[in-house]
């Protein structure tokens, strides 16, 4: 599907040859923490590697009768603490390195919020916007079939990610169920509520970003009411984060998508921006704000910056231009290690992805539990339990950072990697 060596990341053209590798970022983060934890070299080598990697090339019949071959991936990084858990991404930039990184980050994320899952990720190299609904369904069902030897409710549970949604999860669940001969709602999470999905899942990741930002401001003895927020990304995470920030009394001044961003210093009407994007497909068509680039959005003079698009957005080349004093990572891996060092030196607090955007996997776990129990919670219970889990994780990370004299990312990874390493030592090596 991808013939060019260029791709678009949050609206900016980036040469893939010069793009920071998400997997290199993930490994660099791990190596730094492994040294701090003084992990056994053999265990460290094992945790650097992914347990299973499946690459599939599969045919899909297009609407015009052509048969097109697509490439998909499912990677399980670690399952020491439970079944693998991770989303399925449809995007032109999907490749094995990206999926490896995302799977590793899922391992740490699940361990950090203390839910009994390991880490996985999957994806197909495709632009879903170029497919008809029928083509999207056929691609999804064929991909689900190809990876069905790995996934299932007790082994590896997919969820939505960039380019996929509840409908895609419904097709995956139905396909896996047809193979088994009976319905398996617990085979995926993030599916529609009538099929065993949970209320609150769609907005959970974005809502969790706002909850974590509020906790970070509380620790700094600053109010969230009136705080200015710029959000790069207006998909599921970015848009729901914007709504959650507004509900908490913050002022969202900028939102963006691939087309660019809109900026209104007095505050955006986020619902209106979302409606505009729904109608035209572009944030920049919203008329009551100034149009800015994604690069300009990252440099706005705001209290809170939320990169919620793709990995590798804050780098060594632009980190010194960041003016926000609090960065809350809605996306996975948006900040490179070089940028991290620059931001820390500048006194910028970065709440890492594995903590900041963990609301989605927390509520996915709630959905999985509800599916097995055949008993479902109301929205108030889902939100109350999610906030409890996220705030407990933030408190643990903050305490670790203070005790160790480190940034929040290092502290979060110390907690998470330490938990996974302990589980692996307790399980031992078979045979």
| Cross-strand partners of 152 | 156
Residues that are catalytic: 121
Q: Which two tokens stand for residue 50?
A: 């992914």
Question: How far is Cα 351 from Cα 216, in angstroms, rounded to an integer?
Answer: 8
Decide: 180 and 155 in contact? Cβ < 8 Å.
no
What are the angstrom distances between the C-alpha of 428 and each of 37, 80, 120, 155?
A: 19, 10, 21, 19
Q: Name the E strands within 20-125.
A: 52-61, 67-78, 84-91, 118-125
Radius of gyration of the chain, Cα coordinates, nearest whole angstrom: 20
Helix axis angle, 408-427 to 22-37, nearest 10°: 70
Place of tokens 């100034």: 290
Closest to 331 in 3D by CA, of 349, 351, 346, 301: 351
Give the CA dihedral 16, 18, 23, 25, nearest 10 degrees.
-140
């Amino acid at each position: 599907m991808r013939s060019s060596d260029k791709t678009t990341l949050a609206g900016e053209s980036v040469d893939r040859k010069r793009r920071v590798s998400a997997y290199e970022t993930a490994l660099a983060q791990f190596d730094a923490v492994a040294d701090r934890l003084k992990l056994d070299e053999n265990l460290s080598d094992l945790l650097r590697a992914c347990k299973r990697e499946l690459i599939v090339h599969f045919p899909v019949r297009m609407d015009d009768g052509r048969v097109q071959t697509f490439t998909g991936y499912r990677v399980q990084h670690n399952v020491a603490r439970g079944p693998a858990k991770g989303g399925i991404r449809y995007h032109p930039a999907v490749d094995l390195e990206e999926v490896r990184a995302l799977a590793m980050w899922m391992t740490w994320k699940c361990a950090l919020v203390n839910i009994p899952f390991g880490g996985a990720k999957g994806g197909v190299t495709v632009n879903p916007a170029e497919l008809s609904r029928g083509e999207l369904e056929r691609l999804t069902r064929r991909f689900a079939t190809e990876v069905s030897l790995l996934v299932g409710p007790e082994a590896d549970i997919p969820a939505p990610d960039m380019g996929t949604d509840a409908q895609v999860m419904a097709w995956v669940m139905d396909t896996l169920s047809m193979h088994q001969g009976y319905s398996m709602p617990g085979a995926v999470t993030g599916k529609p509520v009538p099929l065993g999905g949970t209320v609150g899942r769609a907005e959970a990741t974005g809502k969790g970003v706002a909850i974590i930002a509020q906790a970070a401001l509380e620790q700094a003895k600053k109010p969230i009411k009136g705080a200015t927020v710029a959000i790069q990304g207006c998909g599921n995470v970015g848009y729901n984060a914007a709504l959650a920030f507004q509900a908490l009394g913050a002022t969202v001044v900028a939102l963006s998508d691939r087309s660019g961003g809109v900026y209104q210093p007095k505050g955006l009407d986020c619902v209106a921006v979302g409606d505009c994007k729904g109608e035209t497909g572009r944030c920049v068509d919203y008329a009551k704000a100034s149009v800015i680039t994604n690069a300009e959005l990252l440099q706005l003079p705001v209290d809170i910056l939320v990169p919620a698009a793709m990995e590798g957005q804050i780098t060594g080349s632009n980190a010194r231009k960041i003016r926000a004093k609090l960065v809350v990572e809605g996306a996975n891996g948006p900040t490179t290690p070089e940028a991290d060092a620059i931001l820390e030196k500048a006194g910028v607090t970065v709440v890492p992805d594995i903590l900041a955007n963990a609301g989605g996997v927390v509520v996915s776990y709630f959905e999985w539990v509800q599916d097995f129990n055949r008993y479902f919670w109301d929205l108030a219970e889902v939100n109350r339990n999610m906030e409890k889990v996220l705030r407990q994780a933030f408190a643990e990370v903050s305490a670790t950072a203070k005790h160790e004299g480190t940034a929040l990312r290092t502290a979060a990874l110390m907690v998470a990697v330490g938990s996974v390493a302990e589980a692996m030592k307790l399980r031992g090596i078979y045979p």
